[in-house]
Amino acid sequence: MEEFIMLQTNEIQRRFSSVEQAIGQAAQACSAERDVPSELRDCLQRLDRQSDLVKEVIQSKDELRIRKMVDDLEQLGDRAKRVCSSGARLTPQMRSAVLHMHEELSELKHQVH
């Protein structure tokens, strides 16, 4: 049982590393643009801050807290995606970064549930 939890934690950490990269790319794209809707900027800042907390929670191996934090991240990712789909004027790079980030968050969520 302990081995299973360790294996799962390693997989979650690996997947979360991809999520962190995607959040970083979206945040970078956001700071490179002038006219980013404030809701999108807010989502990305919150994702960036919360991703630091998720790392600690993953280390704790507390499944319920991990699921809750991942769900919270995914909800922020959903909000960011909605802004992109709302007709907001975004560069293709910004839109692509947000959609990639959302995809990574969704995969992480499926992995922890």
Residue 71: CB atoms within 10 A of its CB come to: 13
Q: For 3-31, what is each residue's pLDDT tens digit?
A: 545 557 788 889 999 999 999 999 999 99
pLDDT of residue 1: 45
CA distances from 93 to 6, 16, 96 (A): 37, 22, 5
The tens digit of pLDDT for each residue in 27-63 reads 999 998 888 999 999 999 999 999 989 888 888 888 8
Residue 31 to residues 36, 63, 86, 108, Cα–Cα distance (Å): 9, 34, 20, 25
Q: To 5 degrees, how large is the angle CA 68–CA 74–CA 78?
A: 145
